[in-house]
Structure 1
């Protein structure tokens, strides 16, 4: 039981422990230099906040401003620091404030430095992740339709996701999953992909395998790449359970439900071997009719809103840059 508690304590966010330690140090210093006044502790909060969210420069400036503010308050109202009704010795009082202020500046600088190092590591990981996505996406370059289709689906899906109020991380997941959602088609025969006639039962089963094949080509690592695998696996699932897998409704990741609408919209508005492109308006009406059966009604509502606002427009200049 004891070892379990220790493990749980070790798993607590290290940054939280850092914050608690900083408060303990400042509280101890504050007690030693002025046991009758704990008010100085409240001036620590802005510096801690600035260090944790804004970095070293903001933290140090905030600490300096807090110190100057305390000096100004004590100078204009010396009675704040009294002991049993007697004004403290001036030199002792200012020494206490100097020690407190110096400690605050050092802690603010140290915490701000840790924050910036953490942000640099996060940025490095994000750049590495983007590189992996670009490499995987570039694997579809020899198949122009799949390559361009994936880009357009990503553009449509992220627009719909924003209409649904997704935060930046979820929008990023939708973008990346959209770019890679047809990666498995690289292992599907060209004849099957471009067949003009309706699939036979065996051909349909073979086509369905591209979802799992695509997910298998993505490195199995923790973090964002691991988050998009379930999205890719579910993007052909239908809201009523009639898709590639028996999952339905809320069981399907919302990101996958978004990509499903974007995927079908682009397929309908693009020329394919087995069908001519529909007009965007006709495709919109067809998707609207599928709300509640093929598609999530809330996603369709966001799609229609984006369509009517003119937001569903692909930047083909950006597409050319990606292809290059």
Structure 2
């Protein structure tokens, strides 16, 4: 693309009468190169542009006006051309440098963001059940989102929301969470409040963590509107609908203090039966396709 723009600029330089105006067109491939490829490529593009214009000026006396009697460009015109070239190269270097600094800054923020997620996960994980559950749900949710064709940035948000979907359980006692006997109605109600509790914990936070808050708050909503917030269908954030399937699948296929794990096929059948009632049919379909093609294995490494 950059080469095509240079060729186009050269052709315009050769054909168009207002050559001074056309010189400004050479800044476009240089700026695009700086934005896409960084400082090195931008500088090379600028140097190539200057060299190309110099060749055209040497071979075409009409490129710049006021030629001498010998048919050559006067020193003043070459000086103006060199000044333009120097400014273009300096612009390329500066813009490329700024772009690389911005890119590095974004990468640092991204690393910091993931580091914060890992730290938060350690706080959420009161023991191995919660920690491994959150990790597995994040893997399953990311697989489903990828199968649905989501962009990588959105998959990262879904993964982050899944890692922290149970953060509200920080305010629920360990004895209650892992009680082996049947829970009373009041205990069930208290555990069920971990969604709004999670919202209260993350509400003061800005940036990406605030962006994932709606998914955390709604991941227990039912597709038919029978959940606590009575959200129905598309009213539930799609990220929450994905996490809901991943969360239930892992809960069913994991050992808990009060029961043994189901097989993956039994869990799949339960999720399929809940399609359109508990779960979004589109998410269930993506879950089934992913499970049939690649399975839902979790790598033995942590994020």
| TM class by smaller structure | 0.7 to 0.9
**Match in the other structure for 1:54:** 37
Q: Is the counterpart of residue 207 in structure 1 residue 177 in structure 2?
A: no
Indicate the SS of the match to 1:165: coil
Q: Which runs of 5+ in 1 are unaligned?
A: 1-33
Aligned residue pairs, count:
286
Alignment partner, residue 11 of structure 2 = none
SS of the residue corresponding to residue 262 of structure 1 reads helix
Counterparts of 1:238-249 in structure 2, within 5 Å, are 238-249=222-233
The answer to whether structure 1 residue 189 and structure 2 residue 162 are counterparts is no
Q: 2:24 aligns with which of 41, 64, 89?
A: 41
- Please list every run of 5 or more consecutive structure 2 residues that lacks an aligned counterpart in the other structure: 1-16
Q: Give the deviation of 1:135 after TM superposition.
A: 1.3
Q: Distance in 2 between matches of 1:79 and 1:35?
A: 10
- Distance (whole Å) between structure 2 residues aligned to residue 141 and residue 291 of structure 1: 30
CA RMSD after TM alignment: 2.4
Residue aligning to 1:67? 50
Q: Is 2:216 the counterpart of 1:232?
A: yes
Counterpart among 105, 124, 129 of residue 108 in structure 2: 124
By how many angstroms is 1:289 displaced?
1.9
Given that 1:36 and 1:83 are in contact with CA atoms closer than 8 Å, whether structure 2 keeps it comes out as no
| CA separation of 1:140 and 1:67: change in aligned 2, threshold 3 A | same
Structure 1 stretch displaced more, 118-127 or 243-252: 118-127
Residues of 1 paired with 2:267 and 2:115: CA distance? 34
**Partners of 1:125 and 1:220 in 2: how far apart?**
19
Query: Which 4+ stretches in 1 moved above 6 angstroms?
Result: none
Higher deviation after alignment, 127-136 or 73-82: 73-82
Instruction: Tell me whether 1:148 sits opposite 2:127 in the alignment.
Output: no
**TM-score, with structure 2 as normaliser:** 0.86
- For residues 254-302 of structure 1, the C-alpha deviation after alignment (integer angstroms, 9 at most, x for no partner) is 1111111100010111122333211111211221221111111111111
TM-score, reference length from structure 1: 0.81
C-alpha deviation, 1:196, in angstroms: 4.5
Separation (CA, whole Å) in 2 of partners of 1:234 and 1:177: 11
Q: Give the deviation of 1:311 after TM superposition.
A: 4.5
Q: What is residue 251 of structure 1 aligned with on the other side? A: 235
- Name the CA shift for 1:299/1:156 in 2 (closer, same or farther; >3 Å): same
Give SS of 2:100's match. helix
Q: Is the 8 A contact 2:142 2:155 kept in 1?
A: yes
